[in-house]
Amino acid sequence: MSEVRVVLLGPPGAGKGTQAKSLVASLGVPHISSGDLLREAVTGLTELGLEARSYMDVGDLVPDELVLGMIEKRIGGTDCAPGFLLDGFPRTQAQAAALGDMLNARGGPLEHVVALAVNRTEVVERLAGRRSCPDCGRLYHVRFEAPQNEGRCDGCGTELVVRDDDREETVRQRVAVYENRTAPLIEFYRQEGILHEVNGSGSPADVRGRILEAVGGQA
Four-residue CA torsion sign, 142, 146, 148, 154: negative
Of 5, 74, 131, 174, the active-site residue reads 174
Q: Is 163 a catalytic residue?
A: yes
Distance of alpha carbon 107 from alpha carbon 183, whole angstroms: 27
- 34 is an interface residue for ligand AMP by CB under 6 A: yes
Residue number with CB closer to ligand AMP (167 or 209): 167
Q: Is 11 in the site for ligand AMP (CB under 6 A)?
A: no
Write down the catalytic residue from 91, 126, 138, 208: 91
**Site membership for ligand AMP, residue 59 (CB under 6 A):** yes
Q: Decide: residue 93, CB within 10 A, 0-12 exposed, 13-18 middle, 19+ buried.
A: middle
- The site that binds ligand AMP (CB under 6 A) totals a number of residues, namely 17
Q: What is the DSSP letter of 215?
A: H
Question: What values do phi and psi take at 161, rounded to 5?
Answer: -130, 165
Q: How far is CA 130 from CA 133, 159, 167, in A?
A: 10, 13, 10
Enumerate residues 6+ apart whose C-beta is below 8 A from 43: 49
Q: Is 20 in the site for ligand AMP (CB under 6 A)?
A: no
State the catalytic residue, choosing from 126, 130, 131, 208: 130
What does residue 157 show for φ and ψ, rounded to 5 degrees?
Answer: 80, 0
Concerning whether 16 is annotated as a catalytic residue, the answer is yes
Q: Is 13 a residue that touches ligand AMP (CB under 6 A)? A: no
Q: Which of 29/71 has CB closer to ligand AMP? A: 71
Cβ-closest residue to ligand AMP? 35
Q: Does 200 bind ligand AMP (CB under 6 A)?
A: no
Q: Using the rule CB under 6 A, is 12 a contact of ligand AMP?
A: yes
Backbone angles phi, psi at 175, to 5 degrees: -65, -40
38 is an interface residue for ligand AMP by CB under 6 A: yes
74 as an active site residue: the answer is: no
Bridge partner residues of 130 (DSSP): 141
Residues at the interface with ligand AMP (CB under 6 A): 12, 34-35, 38, 55-56, 59-62, 67, 88-89, 91, 95, 165, 174
Catalytic residues: 16, 91, 130, 163, 174
